[in-house]
Structure 1
Amino acid sequence: MADITRIYLIEDDRTILHFVEETLRQRPQWKLVGHSETFAHAQVMAPLSLADVFLVDLGLPDGRGEDMLRALSVSKPDAELLVFTVFGDESRLIAALQMGATGYVLKGCSGQELIDAVEQIREGGAPISPLLARMLLKQFRAGGQGAALGGGAAGNGWPELSDRETDVLKLVAQGYVNKEIAQRLGIGPATVSTHIKNLYKKLAVHTRVAVVKVAQERGLI
């Protein structure tokens, strides 16, 4: 992960702003480069920032956080979108993932848990609060993979993977993290992260576990 991580917070609750500011003191190399309290302000200012990670609340006073995620996924395709919200229901989680979120953390977590989520997301992971992860896993085991994770059983018409994407996929399946994959393939961690994001899109999933399972079902690994 890069030494400097730039974070932009989209949140109307000043208590959460102070919590994030206090948390960032534990990581001096991380910088809060912007803050928006409304959808309207974020719509203008967030795309202009150089943030690596956007922390997005879903309950904005003048708009839906899901719509903000969709806009940022288009205007800032290289940034990570981490939902930070009180909404712990499955429908909001799935909608956020479908709109481009690469992580989902519930408010009330500790500062260290938020730090861990940012670190994971910067390394190509998809952090999800344990309660929600268990919810998805339960659906996954019950055969609800398509609804919960965006996967599909049908293999017809799916995009083909490049040779490099296949190489990355095989190493992900073996449990290697992004830095280790980068070392083994002789490429940068950021490039590995890009390949993993492309795998998520092509296989229509949102987690490393799901990308491996769908790839196995399709005979890709």
Structure 2
Amino acid sequence: MTATDQPGPIRVMLVDDHEVVRRGIVTVIDSSDALKVIGEASSVTEASRRLPAIRPDVLVVDLQLPDGTGLDVMRTAREIDPAQRMLVLTSFDDDAALRESRAAGAAGLMLKSARSQEIVDAVTAVHEGRGVWPADHVEDGPELSDSDQRIVELIGDGHSNREIAEALGIAEKTVKNRVTVILQAFGMQRRTQVAAMVAARRRAGWKPQ
């Protein structure tokens, strides 16, 4: 493989209305050879105007914006590209922010007070399809039936739909349908995100009821 064949850095767009904070985050992201900020915006309006042309690999967005919220930006991004990968970077770490971010399709939430390397790692993880949520909130999420919770755990164990169907004694099509519902409930796009969430829960000592 030649140097020109090497994949480029992960292209990041940052949306934050505080210029000083935004410049600091840009510096953090650009400090990694694997990441590059290729677009910035300070409002919902500006982000919505720039997103179609920029098409970032990862959208990093603050929740508090002068003309709306980061949720508005994420919804617009998903309309443009349903597979858009998104990370919330905010000063507020509460249950409502987590639930709303998940519902809007974010793959994770990080505090602006996080260390530089943690932010870099979070952007990289989101690009790879992994979820990034605060450890003390890993058990937050929608209420699931016992059978759906069992499916979540089996996904976390790395089982395919066919293997889950065999384990639960149900049709594979039923499992496929329930996985779709589970993904929607968590605001996720891929089962790898569910697996990552289960892994984070287990590291934090969470046990299914």
| Partner Cα separation in structure 2 for residue 24 and residue 14 of structure 1 | 15
Indicate if the aligned counterparts of 2:130 and 2:196 stay in contact, CA closer than 8 A.
no
Q: Is 1:21 matched with 2:26?
A: yes
2:49 to 34, 40, 44: 44
Tell me the alpha carbon deviations over residues 136-177 of structure 1, each in whole angstroms, 9 at most, x when there is no partner: 43xxxxxxxxxx323521769xxxxxxxxxxxx76x5249xx
Alpha-carbon shift at residue 200 of structure 1 (Å)? 6.8
1:153 equivalent in structure 2: 145
Deviant stretches of 4+, over 4 Å: 198-201, 209-213
Show structure 1 runs of 5+ residues with no match.
Answer: 138-147, 157-168, 176-197
1:28-67 to 2 correspondences below 5 Å = 28-67=33-72
Distance 1:210 1:108, change over 3 A: closer
Distance 1:151 1:209, change over 3 A: farther
Greater C-alpha radius of gyration: 2
1:80 equivalent in structure 2: 85
Indicate if the aligned counterparts of 1:84 and 1:105 stay in contact, CA closer than 8 A.
yes
TM-score relative to the length of structure 2: 0.68
2:157 equivalent in structure 1: 173
Calculate percent identity across the aligned residue pairs.
26
Indicate if the aligned counterparts of 2:138 and 2:197 stay in contact, CA closer than 8 A.
no
TM-score relative to the length of structure 1: 0.65
Tell me the matched-pair count: 166
Indicate if the aligned counterparts of 1:7 and 1:31 stay in contact, CA closer than 8 A.
yes
| Partner Cα separation in structure 1 for residue 103 and residue 118 of structure 2 | 23
